[in-house]
Amino acid sequence: MKKYLVLMLSLVFFSSCKKTDKEILNETILKMTSLNNIEYDVISEYVNKSYNQNRKDSATCYFDFSSKDTLIGTKYHFTSNHGEQVFNGQQEFSSQNKDKLVLYNEKPLKRQVVSSIFMQNSFFVLRNLLPKIVKDSTISISHSQDTILLGKDCYKFDISMKGKFIGLGGELTTIQEKVTTSINYVLFISKENHLPVRFGNIQQKNQGYNYSTFSNYTVSNTKNDSIWNYSRFPKGYLRSTYNDYFEGLKKKNKNWIGTMAPDWELSDLGGKTVKLSNIDKSLILLEFWFPYCGGCVQATPILNEIQKKYKNKGLSIYGIEFTNTPSNALIEYSEKQKVEISTLYNGKNVSKDYGVYAAPTFFLIDKKGEIIYTSVGLNKDKLIEQIENNI
């Protein structure tokens, strides 16, 4: 009888000590928001089975939350194999080791400051969003079976947002509405230090995921002030504003005008082979694009409109997808986006021949095969003017 009472008291004691889900999450929120700075290693993984995409990037990320800036409320310094990305509270700059290049922006916009892949699903994003998620009664949070991740004993939470999603672009730290499906996220929290070990979203029907996995957390106040200044890079590095650099690339692109367009042979989504030199049209418009490129999505209805107006007058339009997305995924995407122009795939090598560095990029080619107009981004009025003058 005595042993039985001891056992019962022990069970009551341990059950009373067990933390509730809300206590676990609030402890993580308190820990994250109490830190003035944090440094960690991250692996960012993006898998999309529908589009045969699989990307993995890694970096060391440092956030200083004592920043007084009014743009995002933190300074950051990211270091990867490719270079650095920095926001010092006023300026944003990045370095490219391979090209020995430093690009800077003296007055960046919020969407530019948070555009790095290492900001997506980051400690910064979770630090801002987790309190909002916990307080939102319409968001479902369930505690799954605890698990081991990176050798750490972790709590695992599944987060389901019906009709909502974590914002994109400049809205990374907001919860957006007006979607018809449920967006599912997963959060792993270390039982040892109460900090996140993994955070990200899972695509519907197990078609992929977008995770950030965190390790090697350190809290440090010893960062050298020089990391916030782009003048520290070697003298051999070219320094340029983003605007000047990309304007230079556009001017370089204009050198195509008057030259013969490189020939190519690609397949359309119906299996038909298309060869540039065999197209018998007065004008040929090429659009280099890829799925979900913002400018490409905006250009779609305009190109559909232009094609309807000029196809019987001698204009032919081809969209060349240049990330080598599989044709079956492009068929599905084109149907969803109501793409009416002919789509050609496996255009990565063609894009290199044309010096394409951004999307959408346009080339207008006359009957002789000469490039008579080119632009990065769609200028509808200018494009239609060129078509009207040359058709």
For residue 333, the surrounding DSSP H or E stretch is helix 327-337
β-pairing verdict for 238-241 and 53-64: unpaired
pTM: 0.70
User: Read out DSSP for 161-190?
Assistant: EEEEEE--GGGTTSEEEEEEEEEEEEEEEE
CA 280, CA 316: separation in Å to the nearest integer? 9
- Residue 153 and residue 17 in contact, taking contact as beta carbons nearer than 8 Å: no
CA 112, CA 104: separation in Å to the nearest integer? 11
- One-letter amino acid identity for 367? K
> Which single residue is written with the structure tokens 């972790």?
154
What are the CA-CA distances from residue 337 to residues 105, 199, 291, 297, 330 (Å)? 34, 30, 10, 8, 10
Instruction: Identify which of 158, 168, 79 has the alpha carbon closest to the alpha carbon of residue 121.
Output: 168
- CATH 3.30.1380.20 for domain 19-239: no
CA 124, CA 116: separation in Å to the nearest integer? 12
Beta strands in the chain (DSSP E): 37-48, 53-64, 75-79, 84-87, 92-96, 101-105, 139-149, 152-166, 175-190, 196-202, 208-218, 238-241, 265-268, 273-275, 283-289, 315-321, 342-345, 361-366, 371-376
Query: Which residue ranges make up each domain of the chain?
Result: 19-239, 258-390
- The alpha carbon torsion through 60, 64, 68, 74 (nearest 10 deg) reads 40
Q: What pLDDT does 228 receive? A: 96
Tallying the residues shown for the chain, one arrives at 391
> Which single residue is written with the structure tokens 């990200």?
200
- Three-state SS at 220: coil
Q: What pLDDT does 12 receive? A: 41
Phi and psi, residue 20, nearest 5°: -80, 165
CA 343, CA 39: separation in Å to the nearest integer? 45
CA 5, CA 42: separation in Å to the nearest integer? 49
Query: Cβ neighbours of residue 224 under 8 Å, at least 6 residues apart?
Result: none
Q: How many CA atoms lie within 13 A of 64 on its CB side?
A: 20
User: Read out DSSP for 59-102?
Assistant: EEEEEETT---SSSS-EEEEE-SS-EEEE-SS-EEEEETTTTEE
Can the peptide bond before residue 262 be classed as cis, meaning omega within 30 degrees of 0? no
Residue 117 Cα to chain centre, angstroms: 6
Give the fold, CATH level 3, of 258-390: Glutaredoxin (3.40.30)
Q: Decide whether 19-239 matches 258-390 in CATH topology.
A: no
DSSP 311: G
CA 129, CA 135: separation in Å to the nearest integer? 10
Sheet (strand 361-366) strand order: 273-275, 265-268, 342-345, 315-321, 283-289, 361-366, 371-376
Residue-by-residue pLDDT tens, the chain, 391 positions: 555 544 444 444 444 457 899 999 999 999 999 999 999 999 999 998 887 889 999 999 999 999 989 999 999 999 999 999 999 999 999 999 988 899 999 999 999 999 999 999 999 999 999 999 999 999 999 999 999 999 999 999 999 998 888 887 778 888 888 767 788 999 999 999 999 999 999 988 778 999 999 999 999 767 889 999 999 998 788 888 988 888 777 766 668 999 999 999 999 999 999 999 999 999 999 999 988 887 899 999 999 999 999 999 999 999 999 988 899 999 999 999 999 999 999 999 999 899 887 789 999 999 999 999 999 889 999 999 999 999 8
Q: What pLDDT does 10 receive? A: 47
Q: What pLDDT does 17 receive? A: 57
Q: What pLDDT does 236 receive? A: 80
Q: Which residues face 185 on adjacent strands?
A: 159, 201
Q: What pLDDT does 337 receive? A: 92
Q: What pLDDT does 170 receive? A: 74
